[in-house]
Amino acid sequence: MSILKEKKILLGITAGIAAYKTASLVRLFIKLGAEVKVIMTPASKNFITPLTLSTLSKNPVHSTFYSKEDENELWNNHVDLGLWADYMLIAPATANTLSKMANGTCDNLLLATYLSSKCPVYFAPAMDLDMYKHPSSIESLNKLQSFDNILIPATSGELASGLIGEGRMAEPEDIVSFIEKDISSKLPLKGKKVLVTAGPTYEAIDPVRFIGNHSSGKMGFAIASAAANLGAEVFLISGPSNQQIKHSLVHRVDVVSAEEMYDASHMYFKDVDIAILSAAVADYKPKNSASEKIKKTDTALELSLSPTKDILASLGAIKKQQYLVGFALETNNEIENAKGKLKRKNLDAIILNSLQDKGAGFANDTNKITIIDKELNEKAFKLKSKVAVAKDIMNEIVNRTKKQDE
What's the helix, strand, coil split of the chain in %, to 5?
Answer: 35, 25, 40
| pLDDT at site 80 | 84
| pLDDT at site 92 | 97
pLDDT band at 322 (very low <50, low <70, confident <90, very high): very high
CATH of 193-292+302-405, one of 3.40.50.10300, 3.40.630.10, 1.10.3720.10, 3.40.30.10: 3.40.50.10300
| pLDDT > 70 fraction of the chain, expressed in percent and rounded | 94
- For the chain, what are the domain ranges? 8-185, 193-292+302-405
Residue 34 CB-density burial (10 A; 0-12 exposed, 13-18 middle, 19+ buried): buried
Mean pLDDT check: name the lowest of 120-124, 224-228, 270-274, 361-365: 361-365
CATH architecture of structural domain 8-185 = 3-Layer(aba) Sandwich (3.40)
Q: Is 361 left (phi over 0), alpha (psi -120 to 50) or beta?
A: left
- Could you report the per-residue pLDDT of 48-89, keeping only the tens digit for each? 999 999 999 999 999 887 655 545 455 556 778 888 999 999
| pLDDT at site 79 | 78
DSSP for 9-72, written as a single string: EEEEE-SSGGGGGHHHHHHHHHHTT-EEEEEE-GGGGGTS-HHHHHHHHTSPEE-SSS-SS-TT
| pLDDT at site 156 | 86
Residue 374 pLDDT greater than 60, yes or no = yes
Is 211 within 8 Å of 34 (Cβ atoms)?
Answer: no
Catalytic positions, written as ranges: 213
Query: Of the candidates 127, 62, 54, 61, which has an alpha carbon nearest to the alpha carbon of residue 95?
Result: 127
Answer whether 8-185 and 193-292+302-405 agree in fold. yes
- Could you report the per-residue pLDDT of 163-176, keeping only the tens digit for each? 787 889 999 999 99
| pLDDT at site 66 | 63
